[in-house]
Structures are given as C-alpha cells and as structure tokens.
Homo-oligomer: A and B are copies of this chain.
Amino acid sequence: MAENRPPDPGRRSERSRRAIYDAALGLVGEAGYPRTTIEAIAARAGVGKQTIYRWWPSKAAVLMEAFIDLGNRAAEQAGEAAYAIPDTGDLAADLRTVLRATVDELNDPVTEAPTRALAAEGIVDAALGAEFVEKLLEPQLQLYVTRLRAAQEAGDVRADIDPRIALELLVAPLTHRWLLRTRPLTHAYADALVDYTLHGLAAR
C-alpha cells in the first residue's frame, strides 16, 4: 500500500517545487510582480521561506524557472519537443507550424495573466527585463536563427538576409498583437505573416 511506504524525498521535493511554481505564477498574475514576495509564494505553496531561499536566489529566479517549466509542460502536452522548430525541408510549412503553436500558447488563459504581469514589469524594470530576455526570450529566438540559417544553406532564403533581424518579422507581430490587444491572434493571421515575410509585399 502506498501509505505504508516511507516518504520519497525526491517526490516530496518535486511536489514542493511544483507548488512553488504554481504559487509564483498565480500570485504574479493576480497581484502583479511588485507585490509577489517570497513570503507570499511560500505561504501559498505551503512551504517554509527557507525552502525557497535554499533553491533560488531571488523571486525573479523563481519566476524564470516557473516560466521555463510552464513552456516545457505546454510543449509536452502538445506532444512537441520544447521550443523546437521543425525542419522538414519546407520552410513555409515549418514556420506556419511554429507560429500557429505560438498563437495557441498566447491564447491560453492559464498563462495569460502571469505572462502579462511579467512583461509589464520587464518593460519598466530594465534589469528584470534584461534577465528575462537573456534567459527566456533570446534562446527561443535563436531557434529561428538556426532554422533560417539552414534555409539559407538550402538556398531557400536570400544569402544577404540577417536571420536575427528576419525572425522579428515573424515573431514581433504576434507579440505586438498579444501585448497591445490590437486584433485577434488566429492561425490565419499566423499563416499570413509567414506568407508576407517569405514573399514580401512588393509586386513582382
């Protein structure tokens, strides 16, 4: 019987870790970043403050890991490798796949409030913003660089394109719509971005 087994410390600390992530994401979504304290995360997660301090140096570090974990779990649920961009040889199809998946993630109500709270704080707090860009955003953007470089090598993308700039035509409009809520984020919109970005607006 499970009840008779001695507690498994690995499982117990995995449970605490998950509770801390959930508490951190919940609090930042409800109360905003400035009012999310280590104390409040510990209280909601049902762990001691020292448990959190033992594992993470700051609340920014807790939140960063919570977001990375959230992204990994979302990708697992979708049956994808976390943050991977496929390379089937068909660049347009691969970009549609990844942009549609990004649309679905951005439209997920579970992640919306914490992600907005953190984005808002990063916009006014340069140090926090820089940390999240370096640790969360830039690694994701580098996957586009890798895929676009492969497409250049395959002769599908112009050789004079800088992939680190080019990816922004795909990624920034999604973020812009989501952050500013200008228009709906749909798969059709994702497809249009891929078409316009690859083939350009100019008449031939």
Contact = CB atoms under 8 A, between A and B. Distances in A.
Interface of A: 32, 91, 116-117, 119-124, 126, 129-130, 133, 137-138, 141, 148, 155-159, 161-162, 164-166, 168-169, 171-173, 175-177, 179-183, 189, 192-193, 196-204
Nearest to A122: B180
B181 A133 contact: yes
Q: Is the interface of A mostly helix, strand, loop or mixed?
A: helix
Contact of A196 (B169, B179, B182): B169
B203 A155 contact: yes
30 contacts: A32-B124, A117-B124, A119-B123, A120-B121, A122-B180, A129-B180, A130-B181, A137-B180, A138-B182, A141-B182, A156-B203, A157-B202, A157-B203, A158-B203, A162-B192, A165-B193, A166-B201, A168-B173, A169-B169, A169-B196, A172-B172, A175-B176, A196-B197, A196-B200, A197-B200, A198-B201, A198-B202, A199-B202, A200-B200, A200-B201
